Amino acid sequence: MLRRLTIRDFGIIEDLDWFPSTGLNVLTGETGAGKSLVLDALDAIMGRRVGQEVVRAGAQSAVIEVEVTPPSGGNSKDVCPAAVPETVLLTRYVGRSGRGGASVDGSTVPIRTLGDIAARVFDLHGPNQQFSLLNVREQLALLDDFGSTAGLRSEFASQVARLRGIRKDLESSLTDERELARRRDILAFEAGEIRSAGLVPGEDADLEEEMTLLANVEQLRSAVATAADQIYGGEQGLPSGSDRIGEGLRWLREVAHLDRRLVDIAQAVEGALYQVEDAGRELASYRDSLEYDPVRHEQIRARLEVIRMMKKKYGPTIESVLVYAQQAEQEMATLDSSEERRGQLEREEGRLREELAAVGAKLSEARQEAASSLSRAVEAELSDLNMEQTGFMVSFALIEGDDDLVLPDGASCGFASDGIDDVEFLIRPNPGEPFMSLSRTASTGETSRLMLALRCALSREGAVPTLVFDEIDIGIGGRSGEIVGRKLALLSQRHQVICITHLPQVAAYGDSHYSVRKIVSGERTFVAVDPLEGEARQSELSSMLGSLGEPSLSGAQELLNRADSWKRGLSDC
């Protein structure tokens, strides 16, 4: 519950400390006295965007503090990780520059976090919040709150998040599919080209050598022929090299008996002669083997051109070209596994769609059951609020989609993160008329009473502990005001209720009554909140009835007596 509200330099409020009680707290006062500033301050705690215009003239910043008790039966850590066991202090700052901040128990937090924590503690219902009732997403949230379908809704949202993640991965893979296909084609071509070339390490050196020989065969033949003639077979009667060595050997043999040292030399020359003769014969044979083969020459040239092109495209050596082919084949295998992964994603996407359809159908069924109960409960509450002829129902339609989900009954639909249903609250103002959208049929007064009826129907143990109503009685006359007061009093048995009202019939049912008044002092305006009891409260209600005369005072006392009597009867039940 809300234990303390402190407002500093916010609007025309300079310094205000208010300690609301349990039960029904009513705030009354003249129009413009500053009553709605209380709601605005709480709205700021809820995270609403506020600018520098809210800072009181002459002040550097506005500060709003609320001291709250965490919801009973819950873990305080659910409200705030650093929560004090009994109370939590929520603070919002707004600077003159428009910049500000927030804190929880003195620890700085994002404003959104402050709003999330505050939303667990109190709920605001002012003209703007009533207008939000016309929002179909808000209506769906109210229905889920009533039907206790938060667990199913959370499960559905979790499944949706998983499905969207899978689809994001699929979309990414499909987006790259063309590029991957092109890449795979390129790799397949390159690896195939290299493999079909049949490259052998070192063959380029052998071919280059053979190419050089064929290109110079005539030069080789001429040189070898001349060498063979000079060494082994002289022409035109001229002695060859072997002839001259042989002649020298004959002279050595003739005198070798004269000096034994010549015997070894003669043997060496004889060995050399044999080698020269062998070399001469080999040269003659080599000369005869030399023959230009133009076909082979062209084959080698073509093969070397293939090798040159492979080196130009894939690497400086045959070895590096073969390594490139191996790497290309490995990358192709990786791409093949990507296709397999995509197949897995598609199967997972199909499985999640089936699960999502099952959970969505279950959630929709639970909502429709809750809608029937809510309709009966709201119509009963509206009847108490003098709208007994007003009908209320919840319309259902499947979210349109490209056959995204196929439900167990064969129907197909789309989905959102909160389910498969398009839900809308409809009312029928008068019997015999069709049900129509709230935004098209509900007047301001009807919307106010419908909000109250819904809140009464939705109220239960464990809900938000503090409810704040600003002008919930707008558009409502005195006859219905007393009924509204009783409804608020009933709510206050399970919640702390704060109500800003202009109707004395509502104010009379307050357990605590506060007067909000504007004070002008020293050319400055201030706001004060004073508790009212006894004659002061009677005077306030009399003033709200129109005068401070005896008839109005008696009327005020009658309202108080009737309210006290009704509340005593309620407590005796």
Average pLDDT over residues 277-304: 81
- What's the confidence (pLDDT) of residue 358? 93
Cβ proximity of 514 and 537 under 8 Å: no
E strands, 471-536, in order: 496-500, 512-521, 524-532
Q: Is 32 left (phi over 0), alpha (psi -120 to 50) or beta?
A: left
Confidence of residue 130 (pLDDT cuts 50, 70, 90): low
pLDDT of residue 167: 85
Q: What is the pLDDT of residue 403?
A: 63
Nearest to 419 by CA among 168, 145, 149: 149
Q: Residue 253 contacts by C-beta under 8 Å, 6 or more apart in sequence?
A: 266
Q: Is the pLDDT of residue 172 over 50?
A: yes
Say yes or no to pLDDT of 442 above 70. no
- Per residue in 344-398, pLDDT tens? 888 898 999 999 999 999 999 999 999 999 999 888 888 887 788 888 999 999 9
In this predicted structure, the answer to whether residue 82 has a pLDDT above a threshold of 50 is: no
Mapped onto helix, strand or coil, the DSSP state of residue 259 is coil
The whole-number pLDDT of residue 23 equals 92
- Give tens-digit pLDDT for 184-234: 888 889 899 999 989 999 898 888 888 888 888 778 877 777 777 777 665
* pTM exceeds cut of 0.85: no
Q: What is the pLDDT of residue 133?
A: 67
Condensed to tens digits (0 to 9), the pLDDT of residues 91-124 reads: 999 998 878 899 999 899 999 999 888 888 888 8
- The dihedrals phi and psi of 408, each to the nearest 5 degrees, come to -55, -30
Q: Per-residue pLDDT averaged across 30-48, rounded?
A: 83
- For position 381, what pLDDT does the model report? 85
**Over the stretch 23-32, which tens digit does the pLDDT of each residue have?**
999 999 887 7
Task: Tell me what the mean pLDDT of segment 457-480 comes to.
Answer: 71
Mean pLDDT of the chain: 83
Q: In this structure, are residues 265 and 190 in contact, taking their beta carbons and an 8 Å threshold? A: no
Domain residue limits, the chain: 182-314
* Beta carbons of 376 and 444 less than 8 angstroms apart: no
Confidence (pLDDT) at 260: 82
pLDDT at 69 over 90: no
| pLDDT score, position 81 | 47
Is 546 in contact with 492 (CB distance < 8 Å)? no
**Do residues 113 and 102 touch, judged by C-beta distance below 8 A?**
yes
With beta carbons less than 8 A apart as the criterion, state whether 91 and 103 touch.
Answer: yes
Identify the residue with better confidence: 113 or 520. 113
pLDDT at 332: 81
Task: State the pLDDT at residue 572.
Answer: 60
Mean pLDDT on 490-510 = 90
Q: Look up tokens 């073969």; give the residue.
A: 322
* Residue 236 scores a pLDDT above 70: no
**3-state DSSP assignment of residue 89:** strand
pLDDT surpassing 70 at residue 478: no
Q: Distances in Å between the alpha carbon of 478 and those of 37, 212, 385, 473, 504? A: 25, 119, 12, 9, 8
CA dist., res. 262 & res. 187, Å (int): 76
- What order do you get walking across the sheet with 391-398 strand by strand? 391-398, 421-428, 436-437
Q: Going by C-beta distance under 8 Å and a sequence separation of 6 or more, which residues neighbour residue 425? A: 133, 136, 139, 392, 393, 394, 395, 437, 438
> Given this model, what pLDDT does residue 71 score?
66
pLDDT tens profile 237-287: 566 777 777 777 778 778 777 778 888 888 887 888 788 778 878 877 777
